[in-house]
Amino acid sequence: MPKTETFDRKQVLKKATEIFHSKGYNGTSMQDLVDATTINRSSIYNSFGNKLGMFIEVLTYYQNDSNIHFSKKIATTYNAIDTIKGVFDAVVYDIIKDVDCKGCLLVNSTSEMVNQNDTIRSFIENHQDRMLAFLEDIVIRGQMERVFNTEVTAHQYALYLYTVIQGLQMTGILHKNKEKLTSIVETVLKSLE
């Protein structure tokens, strides 16, 4: 009996993500989203609840996209050094691809929303925990392979690496020189040896 959703939900999320990424949560109006997605205002409220609901789905969509991008980069690596290099390669690649200087949506949302909305705060906390666990895993492997030092715990190095990644995403907004970014990464990798 039901009339099913006619629009392509993934396509709608893709367009909504572009807008939120470019203008931020508070900078994006419902009208912006209606215009960009080309679906009706009511359909947005029907399918996503409200602006915040849509934003959370957008964050999830963006997160999945990033993860897929990461996974592809490191799928064919056979040791910890190559894996961590793959991670930083992906980060630098995304920075240089970002010609209109939007930065990382997850980083932007952290600074815009974490102190304003508990749902977003939880989402970001969860994201960071997963990133830290992911990085810690790599460091543990590297330490077992005896290519990373054990002066500092894998847990601590993971936090260091995550900090640098976030720093790169900030620096990269205004700084698209690949050689300079790569030089930073080399300094980071050297500190793990």
Task: List CB contacts of 175: < 8 A, sequence separation 6 or more.
Answer: 181
CB of 26 to DNA, least distance (A): 8
The listed partner (its own copies, DNA, none) that binds 180, CB under 5 to 8 Å by sort, is its own copies
- Residue 2 as a binder of DNA (CB under 7 A): the answer is yes
Pick the binder of DNA from 14, 22, 52, 140 (CB under 7 A). Answer: 52
Rounded Cα distance between 114 and 117, Å, is 6
Positions that interact with its own copies (CB under 8 A): 22-24, 26-27, 100-103, 107-108, 110-112, 114-116, 121, 124-125, 128, 152, 156-157, 159-160, 162-168, 170-171, 173-175, 180, 183-184, 187-188, 190-191
Nearer to DNA, 48 or 88 (CB): 48
Q: Which does residue 10 bind out of DNA, its own copies, none, counting CB within 5 to 8 angstroms by kind?
A: none
Residues 8-37 that bind DNA (CB under 7 A): 28-32
Specify the residue, 6 or 76, whose C-beta has the smaller distance to DNA: 6
Please say which residue, 8 or 129, places its beta carbon nearer to its own copies. 129
Widest distance between CA atoms in the chain: 65
Q: Could you say which residues in the range 141-160 bind DNA, by CB under 7 A?
A: none
Q: Which stretches of the chain bind DNA, using CB under 7 A?
A: 1-7, 28-32, 39-43, 45-47, 50-52
